Chains A and B, each alone.
Chain A
Amino acid sequence: MVEASASVKTGEPERESAMRDWSIRLRRNAEYVVIPLFALVVSACAFSLFLLLVGKSPVMFFELVQRGGFGTAFSIQNTLQRSAPLILTALAVAIPARIGLIMIGGEGALVVGGFASAAVAIPLLERVPPGPTLFVMAVAGAIVGAFWVGLAGLMRHARGVNETISSLLLTYIGVAIMNFFVEGALRDLTNPNKPSTKPIGDAYMMGKIPGTDVHWGLAAGVAIAILLHVLMTRTTFGFAVRVAGGNPRAALAQGLPVGKLIVACTAIAGACAGLAGFFEVAAIQGRANASLAAGYGFTGILVSFLARHNPIAIIFVAILFGGIVASGGLIQRRMDLPDATVLVLQGLTFMILLASETLYGRFSIFKMDAGRDRT
């Protein structure tokens, strides 16, 4: 047959070809950075237009975001505080995305996870010391969250139920279940204002990272993101997930347990979101109530898509959005803009980001190709 191909010269030194492999990878990956950045810039422009339309100054807006989110040591800590749950809820989108599922149930898993942590704490308070109690709470949050999103994965695998819809519906059910208990059996009757569970009390609240005002959730989020990145890129589990997500037919032909992988990925996702709920309860709120459903789960969807479902990128994007969330109060006060303004910005960004998906493969500088159908 044919002799060794034109391009793969057999005598080529190993190092040179390794260099080329590396440059091919670099080029391919550059696209994943440049296009989301581009989408961000376009959304900032679109949002500026919106502000101009309602008669506000875009310059002032972005200045306030900068100041309120990143301007002072205090605001940076505030930002980091808020990015902790975003990292975790974004991971709850990113991991299922690797196996080809679009799960948007992070909000629900956060709520049920947070509620479960608060609920298991009640009988332990005063009897068990804070350390073990917090541990039990974290485990409960993670398990319940894992169950919650894993259920959507299981229904997808066993019955072919669309996971996006089911995870969204499960969110409403989760919020309703929490309300049911918080307004009923588990209601703290000493607190007449807002139906909540019994507070865990200051002695049981989780501490701060030493030298900062930021709770341990941030450290945990970063560590989990790095762990999951390693899991997805350097382990056989991650490899199998990438195969199953890239082409389920090929995965089946390799005998990979596609169904189990789906359930595993969704359970990991749910555990992340459940942990986010745990940190909200144990480090911020001290109790479970309706303010757990503060939208972190939904913002996490946007964060994950902007980060192209890459756990490491999620850390940075989450901090950016944590800043936007953190500056919300300042913007509200200074510019007399309603709360929903930030939601408009997020919505715009999401739309533009989704539209920018069509740009992949259009720019020849990133790739050696442009077309799809190959024969």
Chain B
Amino acid sequence: MIEARTGVRALALETIGMTKTFGALAALDDVSLRVEPGSFHALLGENGAGKSTLVKCIMGFYQAEQGSLLLDGAQAVVRNPRDARALGLGMVYQHFTLVPCLTGAENLVISRADAPAVIDWAKEKRALSAFLDRMPFRAPLDAPVSQLAAGEKQKLEILKLLYLDQRLLILDEPTSVLTPQEADEILGLLKGMTDAKEISVVMITHKFREVTAFADSVTILRRGRRVGGGLVAQMSTQEMGGLMIGDTQISARAARAERPPGSPPAETVLELAGLLATDEEGIDVLDRVNLKVRAGEIVGIAGVSGNGQAPLVEALSGQRTLRDGRIFIRQQAFEPTRDAYHRLKVFGLPEEPLKNATVPHMTVAENMAFRSFDRPPNTRFGWWLSPGPMRSKARELIARYRVKTQSPESAIGDLSGGNVQRAVLARELSGEVDVLIVANPCFGLDFGSVSEIRSRIMEQRNSGAAVLLISEDLDEILELSDKVAVMSQGRIAYVAPVGETDRATIGRHMAGHA
């Protein structure tokens, strides 16, 4: 027994010479890493560096071609995720894996490999509460998961792994769906458990702040190779960033072009007038949203997630029908038809682009042509496709936006998370833009890409586009916006020019007491 050996429950993990190729691409090239028992290990690297691939090899989703895995110093064979689970390895994904219509308790019990066919709920409840008494934190167990906030769901995901008695947790960008406060809380709890040697943690992240605040040690990958690592206390974030990107240059951030003082206010381009929408149960998710965005202006919508931001983006992108209200673009009523998108030059980046803006099994080239497949030069006679121009345009965009893909013919679903984001942005920003609607554009991007994407958004603003930026990252909003709006309970609760407001005021409106 491990407990008997050292009194430490946490697992030690070591990979030796892991190599995994996808066709001609070496996604992992001889990667060795060591996680001490009871340590909090961060895995860093730019988009497409191979982080997800590495942890998927460890978890048995992929089979590495070479290399071995040691757990507590002993060779371990993981042929599939079930093996990994039996060995005490658990993983939290970027997307939630809980069943939304079941309660937390039900989710925990059914996740057990040995869940009985007929469940004695009274007994299970007792066992669960005994389990929770041993845990340093709680999550609501009696409400359906669909009613929980993102932070609570993420806690539940982690509780699930602990309930399954996993002793090494792997977290793939666990905080991208959380507010900084939620992230700090959850990572703090995990840190407490690693310090108590209950568990070991491997966390993939793009946020240096989380690395320096919570991690003990770090491994940095670049293009599938381990390029550095060590104790966090002995490295600066600059060093880590340098290792991540190697000798490449970060392009200078586009600056905000100020309008000459005294010039008349620019024309209003996008106007939302009394948007009203309800969900399936008839509850208002948009409650008379009114907002104006002028040409050459970025309006940032801040707010705690779940206050109507997602329905607003859906309404603007034709995925949700409005009960009432109109959208006007340059005083014309806007209906989300293909012709209107094209004529009025409306573009957008929804959140979770793989789910909302791509067809995962279609190729990168095809996905990049979604905007233009029915126009010359991609078509002749208005209906005949010419794949040639489509492919060469894709090659150009792939090079310009540095999308890492093996070829334009790869399925877009095979790209790394950050590269899907970049491919969609390339598509949406490649033409002339009048209205741009972006939701959390930098989720899951490495710091180099964050800088570049924000630059591109700023460039669009500078060249006269009206930009609506919906973001859960207040820093992003304060950095980019000309005007800040706060969304709370489905309505716009506050609007102010960025120079005339501050974090505290915005925070108060976000919390709903103002």
Contact residues of A with B, CB < 8 Å? 1-8, 10, 17, 20-22, 24-25, 28, 234-240, 242-243, 246-247, 249-250, 252-257, 364, 368-371, 373-375
Contacts and interface: CB of A to CB of B under 8 A. Distances in A.
B167 interface: no
A2 B362 contact: no
19 contacts: A1-B245, A1-B250, A6-B25, A7-B405, A8-B406, A234-B384, A243-B370, A246-B361, A250-B358, A253-B317, A253-B318, A254-B338, A254-B341, A255-B341, A369-B62, A370-B63, A374-B52, A375-B93, A375-B417
A7 B404 contact: yes
B339 interface: yes
B94 interface: yes
A22 B391 CA distance: 13
Contacts of B21: 368
Interface in B87-104: 93-95
Interface in B335-391: 336-342, 348, 350, 354-362, 366, 369-371, 373-374, 379, 382-385, 391
B350 A24 contact: no
B61 A250 contact: no
Contacts of B379: 236
A238 to B, nearest CB: 8
A370 B416 CA distance: 14
B17 to A, nearest CB: 19
A148 to B, nearest CB: 27
Contacts of B337: 255, 257
B48 interface: yes
A371 B385 contact: no
B427 to A, nearest CB: 10
Interface of B: 21-25, 46, 48, 52, 56, 61-63, 93-95, 172-173, 204, 223-224, 245, 248-251, 317-319, 336-342, 348, 350, 354-362, 366, 369-371, 373-374, 379, 382-385, 391, 398-399, 402-411, 413-417, 420, 444, 448-449, 451-452
A1 B452 contact: yes
B184 to A, nearest CB: 21
Contact of A236 (B52, B385, B415, B420): B385
Q: Select the residue from A5, A240, A250, A252 with max chain B CB neighbours within 10 A.
A: A250
B134 to A, nearest CB: 30
Given A1-B451, A368-B22, A253 B404 contact: no
Contacts of B359: 242-243, 246-247, 250
Contacts of A257: 337-338
B356 A237 contact: no
A157 B73 CA distance: 58
A237 B374 CA distance: 9
Contacts of A24: 23, 406-407, 409-410
A369 B46 CA distance: 21
A235 B371 contact: no
Contacts of A247: 355, 358-360
Contacts of B48: 5
A20 B24 contact: yes
Nearest to B339: A255
Given A25-B409, A253-B318, A236 B382 contact: yes
B356 A239 contact: no
B414 A5 contact: no
A24 B391 CA distance: 15
A129 B40 CA distance: 87
Contacts, number: 165
Contacts of B63: 364, 370
B399 A253 contact: no
Nearest to B223: A6
B346 to A, nearest CB: 9
B356 A253 contact: yes
Contacts of A8: 398-399, 403-407
Contact of B24 (A7, A240, A242, A374): A7
A3 B248 contact: yes
A83 B417 CA distance: 46
Given A256-B338, A369-B414, A374-B414, A4 B402 contact: yes
Given A371-B61, A373-B95, A3 B402 contact: yes
Nearest to B449: A1
Contacts of B223: 6
Contacts of B173: 375
Contacts of B410: 24
A5 B46 CA distance: 11
- Nearest first, the 8 closest Cβ-Cβ pairs linking A and B are A246-B359, A255-B338, A368-B22, A5-B404, A21-B409, A375-B94, A1-B448, A253-B317
Given A24-B410, A239-B369, A375-B52, 7 more contacts: A1-B248, A1-B449, A1-B451, A2-B448, A4-B402, A7-B24, A240-B374
A240 B24 CA distance: 31
Contacts of A238: 385
Contacts of A254: 338, 341, 370-371
Given A21-B407, A253-B318, A234 B385 contact: yes
A253 B414 contact: no
A253 B348 contact: yes
Contacts of B56: 371
B170 to A, nearest CB: 11
Given A10-B399, A20-B24, A250-B357, A239 B385 contact: yes
A267 B413 CA distance: 31
A252 B356 CA distance: 9
A64 to B, nearest CB: 41
A220 B63 CA distance: 49
B362 A6 contact: no
B173 to A, nearest CB: 6
B245 to A, nearest CB: 6
A375 B399 contact: no
Given A236-B385, A250-B358, A368-B414, A7 B62 contact: no
A23 to B, nearest CB: 9
Contacts of B317: 252-253
B377 to A, nearest CB: 13
A373 B249 CA distance: 31
A207 to B, nearest CB: 34
Contacts of A255: 318, 336-342
Contacts of A234: 384-385
Given A253-B356, A369-B22, A6 B340 contact: no
A339 B56 CA distance: 52
Q: Select the residue from B95, B359, B414, B415 with max chain A CB neighbours within 10 A.
A: B359
Nearest to A27: B23
Contacts of B448: 1-2
Contact of A373 (B22, B93, B318, B342): B93
B376 to A, nearest CB: 11
Contacts of A368: 21-23, 25, 406, 414
Contacts of A373: 61, 93, 95
Given A7-B405, A8-B399, A20-B24, A253 B362 contact: no
